[in-house]
Amino acid sequence: MIVHNTEGEVSSIHSSDILGHVYFGRELKISPKSDATVSGPGFKSEYLEETVSVLIGIGRNNTAELVMTKRAWEAFVNGEEVDITTVKQFAAMYIKKKKK
């Protein structure tokens, strides 16, 4: 599937073999303090096992996709705790302060 933006330019390319459809199974809330990564053109993730994805409509002309392995989705549906890294946590774990 090729998705075009409002200017008619290709904005994303999706390819997969859809094996079926299931209910997401549980509500997921994402804090506004969650860390979100901004990537340049050409960003790609490739999963080498079955995945579950949720297409999210945003406004009239935008979409997003939440993708996870099928094993992660099964753990989620079965009530496992969800932990989403915040910007502050990410900075503490991965950003090194310069020594003066």
Query: For residue 21, is it within any domain?
Result: no
Q: Inform me whether the pLDDT recorded for 100 exceeds 80.
A: no
Query: For residue 3, is it within any domain?
Result: yes
Number of domains in the chain: 1
Across the strands, what pairs with 68? Answer: 52
Query: For residue 73, is it within any domain?
Result: yes
Q: Please, what is the average pLDDT of the chain?
A: 86
pLDDT confidence bin for 1, thresholds 50/70/90: low
Across the strands, what pairs with 3? Answer: 12
Give the residue from 83, 75, 12, 21 showing the smallest Cα distance to 45: 12
Give the residue from 36, 35, 20 showing the smallest Cα distance to 70: 20
Query: For residue 27, is it within any domain?
Result: no
Using CA atoms, how far apart are residues 44 and 66, in angstroms rounded to an integer? Answer: 14
Query: For residue 23, is it within any domain?
Result: no
Query: For residue 75, is it within any domain?
Result: yes
Query: For residue 95, is it within any domain?
Result: yes
Q: Inform me whether the pLDDT recorded for 4 exceeds 70.
A: no
Terminal Cα-to-Cα distance of the chain (whole angstroms): 51
Query: For residue 89, is it within any domain?
Result: yes
Question: What is the domain extent for residue 81?
Answer: 1-15+47-100
